[in-house]
Chains A and B, each alone.
Chain A
């Protein structure tokens, strides 16, 4: 089955700098990779996702890159702001599988230092 590893578990960056969180997956058939953000005491919310037919996707200050050969994908946040402080989760799934489920990484706590 699919296994998703996420690194680092904690990331501290200076406000205004960039942050990068990386995830690796094991199932080469996986083709959908979302990223969720969970602020303290709140529910996870989708911030960006990518499908296996593209290598990169951007939405303002956030971007996700996918390397299918190496089976890893990364979240990039530029010009970090205090409101970016949260726990970020990556996930992977096989689209169309009758037993589909999202397999989640363990999360990265992002701390933005003022």
Chain B
């Protein structure tokens, strides 16, 4: 299952703290994505990036921030402005960004707010 990795696997945050989730890929993919997964719901897109130094908001970007300084890295910061951050976070990448490309997922990070 190599290719795209996420760390940490589990993360605990106190209210009011910012935390950063790591996502790295060695697939030479142009596009990367962050999703949030809650029980009984599908994957909801937080942010995506089609190319280095560029990214776009998804459906639920409020309270999150990202950067894409390197092709292989797309870290997600969950800020204190995110009111309900406890969830499972999945990072994905695809070879292109025009649609119709398989998305490869990382193993996920489970974030819990204490």
Which residues of A pack against B, CB within 8 Å? 4, 6, 9, 31-32, 34, 42-46, 49, 51, 89, 93-97, 99-102, 104-107
Contact = CB atoms under 8 A, between A and B. Distances in A.
**A interface secondary structure, majority:** loop
Contacts of B40: 9, 106-107
SS class, residues of chain B in contact with chain A:
loop
Contacts of A95: 98-100
Contact of B42 (A45, A46, A89): A89
Interface in B42-60: 42-45, 48, 56, 58
B80 interface: no
Contact of A34 (B90, B102, B105, B107): B102
A93 B42 contact: no
A4 B42 CA distance: 10
B80 to A, nearest CB: 26
Given A43-B90, A43-B106, A44-B90, A100 B98 contact: yes
Contacts, number: 53
Interface residues of B, number: 21
A95 B105 CA distance: 20
B103 interface: yes
Contact of B43 (A44, A46, A93, A100): A44
A107 to B, nearest CB: 6
Contacts of A100: 97-99
Contacts of B107: 42-43
B41 interface: yes
A97 B56 CA distance: 13
20 contacts: A4-B42, A31-B100, A43-B90, A43-B105, A44-B105, A49-B102, A51-B100, A89-B42, A89-B43, A96-B99, A100-B99, A101-B45, A101-B58, A102-B43, A104-B44, A105-B42, A106-B42, A107-B40, A107-B41, A107-B42
